[in-house]
Amino acid sequence: MQNAFSSPQAADLGDLRQSDEAESNEDRKAFTPPPPNDQFQEEMVIRPLYSGDIYASFQFRTQWDTDFLHDGKKVSHYRLFPKSLGQVLSKFSVRELHISFTQGYWRTMQWGQPFIPSPPGAELWVWFHHTVTDVDGNWKELTNVLSGIFCASLNFIDSTNTVEPSASFKPLGLGNATDHRFLRYATLPREIVCTENLTPWKKLLPCGSKAGLAVLMKSEKLFHSSFHSQAVHIRPVCKDWQCTSTAWELRQTLNVVFDLYTSGQGKKEWSLFKMFSRTLTEACPLASSSKIYVDVTDNPGVNPLISTAVVLGDRRTYSVYDLTKKETFGQLRSLNLLLRWKGENDMLRPPLHAERYVSGFGLQKGEIHTCLYNSHPYRAYPVLLLDSLPWYLRLYVHTLTVTSKTRENKPSYIHYQPSKDRLRPHLLEMLVQLPPHSVTEVTVQFERALLKWTEYTPDPNHGFYIGSSVISALVPSIVAMDTNSTRDRPLFSSFFPTKEESSYFMRVYTEPLLVNLPTPDFSMPYNVICLTCTVVAVGYGSFYNLLTRTFQVDEPSAPLAKRLANIIRRLRGVPLL
Amino acid sequence: MVLLFVCFCLFVCFSLLVLLELSLMLALLTKATQFFSSGHTNNWAVLVCTSRFWFNYRHVANVLSVYRSVKRLGIPDSHIVLMLADDMACNHRNPKPATVFSHKNMELNVYGDDVEVDYRGYEVTVENFLRVLTGRLPPSTPRSKRLLSDDRSNILIYLTGHGGNGFLKFQDSEEISNVELADAFEQMWQKRRYNELLFIIDTCQGASMYERFYSPNIMALASSQVGEDSLSHQPDLAIGVHLMDRYTFYLLEFLEDIHPASQANMNDLFKVCPKSQCVSTPGHRTDLFLRDPGSVLITDFFGSVRKVEITREAINLTNPTELSLRNELKSEALFYVDQLPVADIIHQKPKQKDWHPPDGFILGLWSLILLVFFKTYGIKHLKHIF
């Protein structure tokens, strides 16, 4: 392979003609690059939790004024937006893409609500453009391409774990038509998240992991945590306040909760160095804004740089550090924040909380219970429950019951799509009204199927994971929400679009389930072969010999004296003994 | 007399100079021929760990140490296919998450911060491994999961796990035999997918895996002979498992001394881990290899030394075209969709399902009914009934 280098300076080579040189100089002057129409913002929120743990949430947003789905021109010049994702969007006509990788389970009762919820394992949901004719084909290829980009086994997503929700997962971006035929949702609850997923995720950022907030992302500290979630969200948003045209927004989020005892040594004293073993030295040069928000609502003190924001239905106070300003870094040119708090008071109960477990005994039957807790004292609100169960749990839908406060609570909307063996999973969607201050329990009985012996995983005795249930709700908010989506707000408060002032949208994920299916003993074929061969060899063989062999009496050999005497007698010609 | 002497001296000097110049040119020529004679233009590596479960930590550490050396010597991630059958770094039993150590006392973290695993977990199967080698992958497979080698590629294949006489166990549920592996390499040779291939295997009775090779240009190394077990090196009491296998431990030590310009050759590699250190006897096979092993550099397989030829030609670049501004066609305001439109959901009409002709049971039932009906009544009586 030969690399041909061309010398950049035309003047060094005497090969170019003078006229060419003049022409190229002229054109070089005439061509000016157009003003960049993309911008990048990075932000980190640090929130001390009541249990002594600390929650850090990174958000990186790239907004680009372009049109991937435009038929005529192909986008070819990428600046801040990663090219690998841009090509994926145009090739598969994707309108919205949400993918998340999570390790650990978010404990709502101890930690409150997360800014961006995500289920354990990998979750992918995509809205395709309405011009796509073969959505399933595009979905299959998209999952394979994403598995290569993120080094994850997303190629295990196929028709047995993909569903088409009919009412959940409405698009988070701009758009009019919401035909649910173009939506696909899949989760892989068993997907492991490790450095090999973080490495390509970091490489998608404009500054990589070399400058700005991404410098803090060291895998040895990030994975030594109670909860780690990284996600990529791509959607079309309003370009400006008039909202007549769209721009594409790419949000990369990373949420991590550090445990008080394993990383914090038992003290409610956290600093950036203790959390990430790094300090910040500069903002990303390509970022138009780079800020750190520290939640000081519950621990007011003399803090500089205060600002408030309405997030998750509550007005919280934040201490803001702007990394684009040199003063933030001080004399030593590095920023290390230290938080110390006492935290004696109780946490405000989150308005919505959900749990799920399997009851029953044995390997034939079982029952799934989903408990939804509404802790608001006087308001009732509707929730949409989405359950996607694999085909090998055979649901008995006639046993589905929804009870709140020991009375039956009939859902106002049920959509059930039964499974087809080895083709399609169960899909159950229900709209349930939760009465105030109550527990609603949804139960359904199931039977476990026996799989074919080649369909078992290499470690079947571990069990099979069932994906989390998704609960989407419009929860009443404590403070009036801002419905004007174009005002400049911090990134963490502008993820879910708000339409009403009195409520905000929330999504809660339950735990994934681990069920044991009746597992055969895989050493049995070997045992059967051994036993059968032994029986055939010993039993049948002996029988065959008895039947087919003839027996002859064998004379024992004569002693030595007799043999000698016989020899002498033969010589003499006398009859033998 | 003096003149003659001077002439003679000049002549000797001149001839010496000419000889010197000729020898220099010859040396340069041989170096040039050597430069271009190794025959390969790119390097690939396929590194496979076939064991699952936490107590097989050492196999993952083996593969990651070879991965680390190969990356350090220049082969980029796009040319490495890394297959790990289980996740040790982020395993819940790992006391130090996101790390895989090769030396006790946690000296060297071979997992690092910049690792890209192409096949993970349940994807590491015999079928996927053979498909990667032969190139017969489904069309939607991404590039990072393919072995895109050509007939000028040198490929390093490293396998580790639990093995026996003539087989290698994949994930405790299936095996690959030495015959299958030899046939896969023959397919690769016939499809011209490699120039030279170095096969290293670190399992018990590893030499049995290369006994059946019959394709040219393959050199093979194994950590133990048939009838011998490959042993592990040392446990770490904090982590609780054995960290590395002996052969790969000493191989890593050997490779740490190699840098991209190193001239070490394969004979040095054959000497790695003698019986006194390894307890088993490492073996090698070079009869299928065309070149003399002494002339094959380590970096021919473990590194990615690019041969660059500089040219003085100039290429004219065309000026970029003016980017036309996007036409603002849309004029009505767009809005965000309501996330939970309760009223719409309750009054949602059921989806119009396409009509499919009946199949299976229903079709059989109706055909039975019609058959019985026509048999009972007969065709010619029908006009009386209808």
Each residue of A75-85: pLDDT tens digit? 778 889 999 99
Rounded to whole angstroms, how far apart are CA atoms B100 and B94? Answer: 9
pLDDT of residue A74: 73
Nearest CA distance, B227 vs chain A (angstrom)? 23
What is the distance in angstroms between the Cα of B370 and the nearest Cα belonging to chain A? 29
What band does A416 get if pLDDT is binned at 50, 70 and 90? very high
| A10/chain B closest Cα distance in angstroms | 8
Tell me the pLDDT band of A143, cut-offs 50, 70 and 90. very high
Which among A5, A7, A170 is the nearest to B339, CB-wise? A170
pLDDT at A262 over 90: no
| Residue B204 scores a pLDDT above 50 | yes
Residues in Cβ contact with A55 at an 8 Å cutoff, skipping those fewer than 6 apart: A45, A46, A47, A48, A49, A111, A114, A255, A256, A257
d(CA B322, CA B313): 28
Compute the average pLDDT of residues A13-35.
Answer: 52
Q: Of B49, B204, B273, B278, which is the active-site residue?
A: B204
From the list A153, A195, A382, the residue facing B89 with the nearest CB is: A195
* Per-residue confidence (pLDDT) for residue A444, from 0 to 100: 96
Residue of A nearest to B333 (CA): A244
Q: What is the pLDDT of residue A382?
A: 93
Q: Across residues A299-328, what is the average pLDDT?
A: 81
Tokens of B273: 């881990």
According to DSSP, residue B194 is labeled: -
Contact B346 A413 (CB under 8 A): yes
- The verdict on whether B204 is a catalytic residue reads yes
Q: What is the pLDDT of residues B220-234, one digit of tens each?
A: 999 999 988 888 888
Measured between CB atoms, does A218 come within 8 Å of chain B?
yes
ipTM: 0.84
Q: Do A16 and B331 touch (CB under 8 A)?
A: no
Rounded distance, CA A355 to CA A284, Å?
Answer: 41
- A172 contact B CB<8A: yes
Amino acid B323: pLDDT: 60
- The answer to whether the Cβ–Cβ distance between A145 and B307 falls below 8 Å is no
Q: For the segment A494-541, what is each residue's pLDDT rounded down to a tens digit?
A: 888 888 888 889 999 999 999 999 999 888 889 999 999 999 999 998
pLDDT at B331 over 70: no
d(CA A166, CA A161): 16
What's the whole-number average pLDDT of chain A?
87
Q: Tell me the mean pLDDT in the region A220-249.
A: 89
Q: CB A166 to CB B351 under 8 A?
A: yes
Using an 8 Å CB-CB cutoff, list chain B residues near A413. 345-346, 348
Identity at A96, one-letter amino acid code: E
Q: What sign results for the dihedral spanned by CA atoms B244, B250, B253, B256?
A: negative
Helix B126-134 with B178-190: angle, nearest 10 deg: 20
pLDDT tens digits, one per residue of B278-311 = 889 999 999 999 889 999 999 999 988 777 778 8
B-chain CB neighbours of A220 within 8 Å are 96-99, 113
B341 vs A contacts (CB less than 8 Å): 170
Interface test with B, best of A68, A142, A151, A485 (most B CBs within 10 A): A151
For the stretch A263-290, pLDDT in tens is 888 888 899 999 999 999 889 999 999 9
Query: If we measure between CA atoms, which residue out of B237, B192, B191, B199 comes closest to residue B218?
Result: B199
**Average pLDDT rounded to a whole number, residues A15-25:** 46
Paired with B84 in beta bridges are B49, B120
Q: Please report the pLDDT score of residue B37 as a whole number.
A: 59
Which of A1, A20, A174 is the closest to B336 by Cβ?
A174
Of the pLDDT bands very low, low, confident and very high (cuts 50, 70, 90), residue A14 is: very low
pLDDT in tens, B184-197: 999 999 999 999 99
Q: What percent of chain A has pLDDT over 70?
A: 92
Q: Let me know: does A388 contact A161? Beta carbons within 8 Å.
A: yes
Return the bridge partners of A62, or none.
A40, A250
Across the interface, do B346 and A431 touch by the CB < 8 Å criterion? yes
Residue A386 has pLDDT above 60, yes or no: yes
Considering only CB atoms, which chain B residues are within 8 Å of A494? none
Show residues of chain B in contact with A416, CB under 8 Å: none
Residues of B with CB below 8 A from A522's CB? 173
Q: pLDDT confidence of B328, banded at 50, 70, 90?
A: low
Determine, for residues A194 and B331 on separate chains, whether the beta-carbon distance falls below 8 Å: no
| Cβ contact, residue pair B123, A13, below 8 Å | no
The overall pTM is greater than 0.80: yes
At B34 the pLDDT is 57
CB contact under 8 A, A2 and B144: no
Average pLDDT rounded to a whole number, residues A200-206: 94
Confidence category of residue B354, pLDDT binned at 50, 70, 90: low
Residues of A within 8 A of B42 (CB-CB) are: 1
Q: What is the mean pLDDT of residues A327-351?
A: 80
Query: CB-CB: which of B113, B118, B314 is closest to A7?
Result: B314
> Are B214 and B285 a contacting pair, CB within 8 Å?
no
pLDDT band at B322 (very low <50, low <70, confident <90, very high): low
The helix, strand and coil proportions of chain A, stated in percent and rounded to the nearest 5, come to 20, 35, 45
Query: Residue B162 catalytic?
Result: yes
Contact B60, B86 (CB under 8 A): yes
Helix, strand or coil, per DSSP, at residue B254: helix
Q: Evaluate whether A206 touches A286 at the Cβ level (below 8 Å).
A: yes
Within 13 Å and on the Cβ side, how many CA atoms surround A119?
32
Rounded CA separation A62/A39 (Å)? 6
Q: A181 vs A28, A99, A145, A259, CA distance in Å?
A: 50, 19, 22, 42
Q: Return the structure tokens found at A528.
A: 């059967």
pLDDT for A302: 66
Using the predicted structure, report yes or no on whether residue A344 has a pLDDT greater than 80: no
The yes-or-no verdict on residue A23 having pLDDT over 50 is no
Closest residue in A to B42 (Cα) is A1
Percent of chain A with pLDDT over 90: 58
pLDDT digits (tens, 9 = 90+) for B243-292: 999 999 999 999 999 998 888 999 999 999 888 888 899 999 999 998 89
Q: What is the pLDDT of residues B18-38, one digit of tens each?
A: 888 877 777 666 655 555 555
Of A192, A195, A246, the CB nearest to B111: A195
Average pLDDT of the segment spanning A321-325:
89
Q: Tell me which residue has tokens 């002594």.
A: A52
Residue A449 has pLDDT above 70, yes or no: yes
Give residue-wise pLDDT tens across range A361-373: 999 999 999 999 9
d(CA B159, CA B206): 10
To the nearest whole Å, the CA of B281 is away from the closest chain A CA by 32
Q: Which of residues 481-540 of A touch B (CB under 8 A)?
A: 485, 496-497, 499, 505, 522
At residue A363, the pLDDT reads: 93
pLDDT beyond 70 at B325: no
- The per-residue pLDDT for A21 is 47
Question: A162: distance to nearest CA of chain B, Å?
Answer: 18
Mutating which of B345, B351, B353, B354 best tests the A interface, going by the most A Cβ atoms within 10 A?
B345
